[in-house]
């Protein structure tokens, strides 16, 4: 199936003997003391694209950022451990240039033979990356004949390696990760099977009010859990004890609830919650009705009646977008709501089920259900912006 907007898939490109720059997302978590990679899933995610290019005899130049060096060379943020891990996974040499651009980088690229892989040093060691500087973009572009973006997680940023350099390269396309993201997230913006239900949770209303407002234009119902629900409950005049509430977002919450009524979109909030005296008070966890939260307690998960109601709505849905856990899922006593949502999505085989967001993705992986939903998006901010209907610079740049 062709990608929306005429974007080419990497498998449609004639890459043999050509230098292919691949923007990857190798921004992996590193252990502070040992600089060992603590989770290499961002590296393994790109292996299909890199292997494809190796098999087709491309000369591969990988570019990524790591952490926030803010335009300066910070040796502790070198991509060296990443290059080493990639070499191990591919069982081939991966040459790391000692700079993102310059004579050393140019030499590494020009020494490449067909099927070989090189990596540029952390692109954010140069201020031109985040500034989307033209001369830095031109330097990067001079290292390749073909541009491929496989870094969905940074596609909402207009940086040199995600946007600026692309206009100076004649052929371009999406890698396997990027293509799958575009394919599934685009389906949420088109004609969907209904009911279309959104489940929103997580930490903050302020992170997600734009996506909530945008979803009101598309969905049939919205379920709200997590810390975010507290602000909505308080906006409705309920007492939520010591729960996290964003006071400055109460007007946003009221406004959202009013618009939902006008549009006749049903908003489901928790009717009961699991409370405790603090985040560490797992022993004191208990279920209370929403109008009986003790003054000193915090709501840390949705309760069993709310789970039942959310399950019913989700089981009847034919399209679901889920972002944000229903509670403090990192702690077993406060994980039931999040696990129940994950399970209900996994069981609903009739629906298109899309999960987006860093912690939501971690939660569904933790529940062992990631391969039971239609798509788990790897981009946090990027997937929210996409679902909002915004045009992401890194995707716009791939269109002909
Ligand atoms: P995502 O990364 O999926 O977008 P967020 O970053 O918005 O999700 O939110 C995830 C965080 O929200 C988790 O660390 C979780 O512990 C926290 N959280 C969820 N519900 C609550 C709650 N009721 N009280 C406090 N924190 C919560
Ligand atoms: Mg998060």
> Judging by DSSP bridges, how do beta strands 272-276 and 286-289 pair with one another?
antiparallel
* Pocket residue to mutate for ligand 1, from 225, 328, 335, most atoms within 8 A of Cβ: 328
Checking if the pLDDT of 308 tops 70, the result is yes
Q: Is the CB of 355 under 6 A from ligand 1?
A: no
Distance of CA 380 to the CA centre of its chain: 3
Q: Is 299 helix (H, G, I), strand (E, B) or coil?
A: strand
Say if CB 221 and CB 267 are below 8 A apart.
Answer: yes
Neighbours of 44 (CB within 10 A): 12
Of 57, 259, 358, 372, which is the active-site residue? 358
Tell me how far the alpha carbon of residue 90 lies from the centroid of ligand 2, in angstroms.
30
Tokens 């290059």 label which residue?
A: 83
Question: What pLDDT band is residue 2 in, cutting at 50, 70 and 90?
Answer: confident
Annotation says 42 is catalytic: yes
Domains along the chain with CATH numbers: 4-179 (3.40.50.1260), 187-387 (3.40.50.1260)
Annotation says 6 is catalytic: no
- Reported as type and span, the H/E element at residue 234 is helix 226-235
- Euclidean distance between CA atoms 395 and 46, whole angstroms: 17
**Beta bridge pairs of residue 222:** 198, 267
pLDDT, the chain, mean: 96
Tell me which DSSP letter residue 97 carries: P
| pLDDT tens, residue by residue, 68-127 | 999 999 999 999 999 999 999 999 999 999 999 999 999 999 999 999 999 999 999 999
Alpha helices in 317-357 (DSSP H): 336-347
Residue from 268, 337, 340, 267 nearest 299 by CA: 337
Prediction pTM value? 0.93
**For range 164-193, the mean pLDDT:** 97
Sign of CA dihedral 61, 62, 63, 68: negative
**For range 221-250, the mean pLDDT:** 96
> Judging by DSSP bridges, how do beta strands 19-23 and 352-355 pair with one another?
unpaired
Checking if the pLDDT of 159 tops 70, the result is yes
Burial 378-397 (b: 16+ CB within 10 A, else e): bbbbbbbbbbbeeebbbbeb
Q: At what angle do helices 250-263 and 226-235 cross, to 10 degrees?
A: 80
Q: At what angle do helices 336-347 and 358-366 cross, to 10 degrees?
A: 80
Neighbours of 368 (CB within 10 A): 11
In sequence order, what E strands does 97-186 have? Answer: 117-119, 146-149, 171-174
HSE toward the beta carbon, residue 393, CA cutoff 13 A: 15
**Three-state SS letters, 37-50:** ECCCHHHHHCHHHH
- For position 64, what pLDDT does the model report? 98
| pLDDT tens, residue by residue, 129-155 | 999 999 999 999 999 999 999 999 999
* Pocket residue to mutate for ligand 1, from 153, 230, 324, most atoms within 8 A of Cβ: 324
Say if CB 270 and CB 303 are below 8 A apart.
Answer: yes
| Percent of the chain predicted with pLDDT > 90 | 96
| pLDDT tens, residue by residue, 341-394 | 999 999 999 999 999 988 999 999 999 999 999 999 988 899 999 999 999 999
- For position 1, what pLDDT does the model report? 63
**For range 262-270, the mean pLDDT:** 97
């Amino acid at each position: 199936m062709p990608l929306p907007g005429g974007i080419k898939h990497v498998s449609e490109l004639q890459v043999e003997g050509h230098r292919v720059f691949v923007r990857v997302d190798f921004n992996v978590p590193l252990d502070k003391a040992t600089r060992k990679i603590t989770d290499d899933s961002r590296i393994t995610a790109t292996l299909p694209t890199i292997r494809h290019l190796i098999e087709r005899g491309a000369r591969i130049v990988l570019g990524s950022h790591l952490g926030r060096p803010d335009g300066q060379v910070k040796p502790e943020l070198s991509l060296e451990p990443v290059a080493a891990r990639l070499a191990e996974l591919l069982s081939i040499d991966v040459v790391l240039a000692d700079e993102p651009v310059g004579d050393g980088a140019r030499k590494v690229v020009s020494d490449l033979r067909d099927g070989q892989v090189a990596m540029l040093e952390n692109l954010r060691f140069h201020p031109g990356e985040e500034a989307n500087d033209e001369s830095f973009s031109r330097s990067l572009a001079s290292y390749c004949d073909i541009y491929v973006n496989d870094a969905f997680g940074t596609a909402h940023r207009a940086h040199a390696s995600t946007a600026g350099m692309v206009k100076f390269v004649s052929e371009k396309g999406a890698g396997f990760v990027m293509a799958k993201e575009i394919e599934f997230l685009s389906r949420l913006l088109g004609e969907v099977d209904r009911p279309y239900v959104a489940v929103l949770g997580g930490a903050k209303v302020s992170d997600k009010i734009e996506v909530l407002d945008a979803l009101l234009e598309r969905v049939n119902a919205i379920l709200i859990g997590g810390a975010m629900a507290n602000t909505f409950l308080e906006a409705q005049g309920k007492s939520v004890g010591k729960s996290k509430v964003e006071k400055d977002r109460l007007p946003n919450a009221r406004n959202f609830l009013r618009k939902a009524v006008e549009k006749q979109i049903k908003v489901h909030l928790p009717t009961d919650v699991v409370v405790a005296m603090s985040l560490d008070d797992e022993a004191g966890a208990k279920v209370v009705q929403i109008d009986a939260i003790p003054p000193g307690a915090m709501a840390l998960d949705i309760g069993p009646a709310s789970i039942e109601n959310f399950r019913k709505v989700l089981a009847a849905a034919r399209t679901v977008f889920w972002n944000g856990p229903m509670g403090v899922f990192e702690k077993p006593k406060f994980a039931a709501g999040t696990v129940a949502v994950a399970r209900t999505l996994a069981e609903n085989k009739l629906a298109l089920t899309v999960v987006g967001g860093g912690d939501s993705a971690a939660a569904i992986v933790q529940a062992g259900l990631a391969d039971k939903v239609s798509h788990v998006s790897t981009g946090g901010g990027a997937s929210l912006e996409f679902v909002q209907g915004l045009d992401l610079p890194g995707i716009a740049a791939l269109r002909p």
